[in-house]
Amino acid sequence: MSSFVIAPSILAADFACLGQEVDDVLKAGADVVHFDVMDNHYVPNLTFGPMICKALRQYGVTAPIDVHLMVQPVDDMISAFAEAGASWISFHPEASQHVDRSLQLIQEHGCKAGLALNPATPLNCLEHVMHRLDHVLVMSVNPGFGGQSFIPSILDKVVQLKQMIIASGKQIRIEIDGGVKVDNIRAIAEAGADTFVAGSAIFGQPDYMKVIGEMRHQLSLI
């Protein structure tokens, strides 16, 4: 599997100057721009839709955009975000009546396909769709709000997921979303994760380059 990926979540960015915020965080060393899309239905919060993704593309952002759909139903939003310029799209299996079909839809649009697992969602929901997955997004907080604390027991889940992926022989990234910080990113990586979503831990700091550099340093110690 390729190198570690740091994906700042724009949920914690300053929306009054979002284009500049994204430029700044990418210049500071981020790899991917992460979208936490919430519908006030599947989760108790409302964030943003595909027009923000399209606006960033029109603004000139060329980095991969990783869209995490916390919405129900999912298929219309998959198509809308893909057409708006998304690169990776993940959704929650509980939010789709036909998980395999929704994953196919992502792939048909030319995007990387992923499933997002809540803390209590069991890993066995992946068993019959591993061949369609490019990444699995493991929630290390309960979805809905930024700034929550990392749930330590998720590390065991990541270890088990890594074993499943190795057994499958597939190249599937493990993405962690929720409570990722400088002081725990190494332990998360050692459990098996390679892609790290961080919102307030990056956008909440005065120096994006410094905090991303500190994260990279922790990862280099593995």
* Residue positions annotated with a catalytic role: 36, 177
Q: Residue 72 carries which side chain, given as an amino acid letter?
A: Q
Question: How far separated are the first and last CA of the chain, in Å rounded?
Answer: 15
Residue 10 in contact with residue 33, Cβ under 8 Å? yes
Provide the 10 A C-beta neighbour count for residue 101. 10
CA–CA separation, 25 and 11 (whole Å): 13
Report DSSP state, residue 202: H
Provide the 10 A C-beta neighbour count for residue 182. 19
Provide the 10 A C-beta neighbour count for residue 19. 14
Residue 185 in contact with residue 197, Cβ under 8 Å? no
For tokens 């430029």, the residue is 23
Closest residue by Cα to residue 10 from 138, 177, 150, 149: 177
Neighbouring-strand partners of residue 5: 195
Q: Residue 17 carries which side chain, given as an amino acid letter?
A: C
For tokens 């997004």, the residue is 137
